Structure formats: C-alpha cells, structure tokens
Structure 1
C-alpha cells in the first residue's frame, strides 16, 4: 500500500506552538517534530507508561536540537518563584507572543473535563497577560483561550510533569540560517541512529524498556486487558501522536533521500495507527498482534538509516 502524507488534527502541541512563533518562515510541523528526534524509538517507562518515542527521550531534550536543525535560535527562561515568573511572562508578552511549557494540562480548565493534574504535559503560545487572566493560543484546538491566572500558574509550575523545570518559556526566536527541509532532516539522522540504539545514558526508572522489548511487553499488557489506565492513555493520546509522528517521519526521510528508512517508518505508522480501533473496541488480541509486528521494525529502521 502506498504511503500518503497525513493532514489533520493531532496532539502536536509543541510543534504547533513553535510553528506559530516562527510564523511564515516556519518549516512544516512535520519537519519540526522529526527534528526533535522523538519519533525514533519506543519506550515503556517504569514498565507501565508507553510512548511511541525514543527510549530515554522527552520533549525538552529535543527542542534545541530541532531549532538548530532548522536554523533558528531562542532564549530560554526557567525557574524562580511564581511572582517573578508571572512578571517575566507579562513583560515578554508585551513585546510579542511567548512559547510556554511544559504545562500540566489538567489545570487548564478550558479543556473539557479537566479538574486537576493528570500528569500530561502541554505547550501553548501566550499572547497577553493581565491581573486576572492569561490569553493563549492553545494548539489543542482553542485559539484565544482565556485562562485564569491561578489556573495558569498551577499548570506552569508543572509539578506533576515528569520532565522539565517550572516556569519555562522561550522568547527571542531568531532565524540564523536558511536550511532546506531535506538538509534539516539529514542533520538529525546521526542522532536518530543513536536514539534507535537505545542510549545507555538514558535517565529512566527501573523497569523501563525500549523499542522491540517495549513493544513485546506492551503487547502482553494489552492482551491482559490494558488495565491501570493503559487503554485510556493509548486511545486518547499515545496512538494518535505516535502514528502521526511516524507518518511525518516517513515523509521527511523520503524527502531527505532515505527511501528504505522511509518505507520502514511508513510501516510503523500503519501498525501504530492500526491499534486505535481494537484498543477502543476491546479487541485486545488484534492490538497485541500489531504491537508484536511492530517490535522488529526499530532495528530495521536503524539498519536502514545506517
């Protein structure tokens, strides 16, 4: 079956937020996403939480790499107390939009059914700040959302997000080089190979697994009923973003001159995407079979890139 590039909705919050800040000179969100290195692998964190992204990777590890690959820089601000952070944000927003995150999505109550922390990271663009509310473009589908200051600051503290620092934001986005998309992707291939090799310096808790071992273990967990929140995590988030980024990876690798690797990534995208219906409907044997078919593709992708 021929691969077709996907265009549509998906949980691409940080890539979409970057694209908003970079404006008309931004590359596609596909290039931004792939340049972070995130799509190159799979991880099962602490034996329970699955992500279709590189073993030991988190978004914070990929942002500077992605910006460098596409020829941009930015200034990062993080930490301090809440009052200083809010003042810093208000000052920055008075000069223009500000990229902000990670945030704890559960504190952002303009998202339906959010009433408290759920351990989910999120990124937004802040447009304006006053004493009562923070005005944001939320790439999860909410342009010009108004968030009460108290809720925003609780989210921005990010206490229940597993990576990053409180009150992180980026300003001063500056284009420093004209980089064709194909060159940007070629520049991150060595890092992609390293991620697929499951770097030994990965900072993960005991019980974590990567790539083929992760896929096999998740297959076992799904076959056993996908309990303890696994089913919900898969069907609401992990499958959606995983299939999307792998589809984008196939497109980007083909553009960069890696047709064999692109074919493997397209296969991965189809396998991850095929999980959605059986996970939602409870056909766990079918989902487990797709995960087991996925397991050997990580070594295949590394070999194709090498």
Structure 2
C-alpha cells in the first residue's frame, strides 16, 4: 500500500484537527475524515444532477468522529429565520476557538474564487471576533484571514446549501472523556458505517435520490443515454468529486489495514479506480469514463456487501 499525503477538500477534518490541537490533542485529519463516515457510499441527487461519493453529511460527520475518538463537546445552531447568534458566538470564542460550518463559500470574500463558489459548503476554525470582523483559519489555504461580520452572517446562515441540516452551526469546547483503543475505534466505526448503509437501504424508494451502486450507474446513464454530462457535472467531477474520492478511499484503506484487511484491499482498489476516473474525465474521454464508472459501481457494491456482512 502506498499512502498519499497532500492537499484535498478535507475542510471539516482539517478544522476538527485544529480544534482538537487547541486542547493539546493531536489527531490526524485522515483519521477524522474516516471516522466522520462522510465518505461511505454514494448518493445521486436527480434535481441537481449531482453525485456525491458519500451518504452522510459533515454536519453530522464531525460529531461522529469526535464521539468515536472519546470526546465530549458543545454543539450549537439556531433558526435560519431568526437573528444570528453573534453575541453567543462571541462569548464562546472568548473561551476558545470554535469550528464553524457549514458556511457558504460564496460569501467568504477573502477567497479570490468566492464569486464562483456560491452554494458550496465549507468548515473553518474561528479564533477571534471584534465589533467588525471574525478571524479565521480556513483550511483551504487561508490562515489568519478575517471576514466582515456582515459577510460572515450570510455565509453562516448557509441558506443556499441544499443538503444542510443547520444554520448558524458550530462546535466548541471539546473535552476528552474516554480513550478508546485503535481496535475499539475500528469496531465502533464499522457499526457507524453499517448504520449509514442501513439508513439508505431502509429509505422509501425515491426517484430523486439514488444510493450506492445505482447512484454511480446513474452517471453512466447520463453519459451514454442522455447526451453526456453537463458543464456543471463535468466541473464537479473534475475539480472535486473524483480526486476527493480517491484520497478518502486511500485513507479508509490505511485505517482498515490492521483490523479489517479485506475492507482495506477493496478501498485501495477503489482509490485507484477513482484516480482512473479523474484521469479520463480530464482527458474528456467520456466513453472510457462510463466503463470505468461501471467498475467503480461494482467496487462500491462489493465494499457495502463485505462491510455489512461483518
């Protein structure tokens, strides 16, 4: 197995790692990413014509990871139609950094690409507030940036993020209350992942949302029977989904290598297949991409069956 170390869209995992670092706890973002469960499965949204290689969302995933690692924390949100809880946030920031998210990246104006990122969710660490601005470590490559509170409130409301659970959401004050062994973490993670698959399996049939293998094959149908992928779909897969899928799958492979080697082997094959899909979409070779995604769909189903049989 050849691990990969590098950048990636691990905003909530990186922000969680920074939050834990403030209390002297060093946890790899790769471990936090795996334990979040966000990279388990696949989901197609028909209305948006978009696939995500995962079925859980970071709004819940951060809490999954903290719990599996033995932490307790405070988690807060507020009604999107009400007043943003700036004063409550200010009081909490005075006692220590907070992990904020989801935020709408389109309002993060310190990012020179913000105008093109509206509706994309993001997670950051806030470490200071004053009367005009909030000060952040943004894991997308922007340490020590600040944002006017007027812009921050729009980002924090997250009303354009279609799969959000919360507005004005954040985590703060983590505290270790347990020290699960690696074996215990792996066993508890398996139960979490099985639960994610079971939740989608028990969902009522719905043509607007597909899961797992069927979600991936829906993209194949878009290529072969519906005139090909739209520019938006191509951009999502080229700039985000395939490369993130490859990195996540490799981190899962490393995590499983000691306690579930069969799952690790499947995830390593999946990582390589994600990389193959990325190469093909950038080359604009849609026919070969369709074939590669059929293989990816089979690997996803194999992983689901092996994991759920444990």
Report if the CA contact (8 A) 2:42-2:211 is conserved.
yes
Change (3 A) 1:170 1:203: farther
Aligned to 1:185: 186
Change (3 A) 1:264 1:82: same
Change (3 A) 1:103 1:205: farther
What does 1:105-124 align with in structure 2 at a 5 Å threshold? 105-115=105-115, 118-124=118-124
What does 1:41-190 align with in structure 2 at a 5 Å threshold? 41-46=41-46, 48-54=49-55, 57-80=56-79, 85-115=85-115, 118-162=118-162, 163-190=164-191
1:225 aligns with 2:223: no
Report if the CA contact (8 A) 2:59-2:101 is conserved.
no
- Distance in 2 (CA, whole Å) between partners of 1:229 and 1:94 is 41
- Distance in 2 (CA, whole Å) between partners of 1:131 and 1:240 is 39
How far is 1:175 from its partner? 0.7
After TM superposition, the structure 1 stretch with the greater mean CA deviation from structure 2, 63-72 or 133-142, is 63-72
Aligned to 2:250: 247
Report if the CA contact (8 A) 1:198-1:210 is conserved.
no
Q: 1:20 aligns with which of 18, 21, 46?
A: 18
How many aligned positions are there?
A: 301
SS at match of 2:114: coil
How far is 1:209 from its partner? 1.1
Report if the CA contact (8 A) 1:133-1:146 is conserved.
yes
Q: What's the CA shift string for 1:105-147, capped at 9, x where partnerless?
A: 1111122232276221100000111122111000111111111
How far is 1:208 from its partner? 1.4
- Distance in 1 (CA, whole Å) between partners of 2:95 and 2:160 is 30
Change (3 A) 1:92 1:69: same
The RMSD of aligned alpha carbons is 2.1
Q: What's the CA shift string for 1:46-81, capped at 9, x where partnerless?
A: 261101113xx2222323222111111111111057
Q: 1:285 aligns with which of 284, 287, 291?
A: 287
Report if the CA contact (8 A) 1:98-1:169 is conserved.
yes
Q: Structure 1: which 5+ residue stretches go unaligned? A: none
- Distance in 1 (CA, whole Å) between partners of 2:182 and 2:257 is 11
Report if the CA contact (8 A) 2:85-2:168 is conserved.
yes
Report if the CA contact (8 A) 2:84-2:153 is conserved.
no
- Distance in 1 (CA, whole Å) between partners of 2:282 and 2:97 is 38
Change (3 A) 1:237 1:302: same
After TM superposition, the structure 1 stretch with the greater mean CA deviation from structure 2, 260-269 or 195-204, is 195-204
Aligned to 1:5: 3
- Distance in 2 (CA, whole Å) between partners of 1:92 and 1:16 is 20
Report if the CA contact (8 A) 2:13-2:62 is conserved.
no
Change (3 A) 1:193 1:83: closer
Change (3 A) 1:61 1:84: closer
How far is 1:84 from its partner? 5.0
SS at match of 2:110: coil
Q: What's the CA shift string for 1:81-121, capped at 9, x where partnerless?
A: 77551111211111111111110111111222322762211
SS at match of 1:274: helix
Q: Structure 2: which 5+ residue stretches go unaligned? A: none
SS at match of 1:77: strand
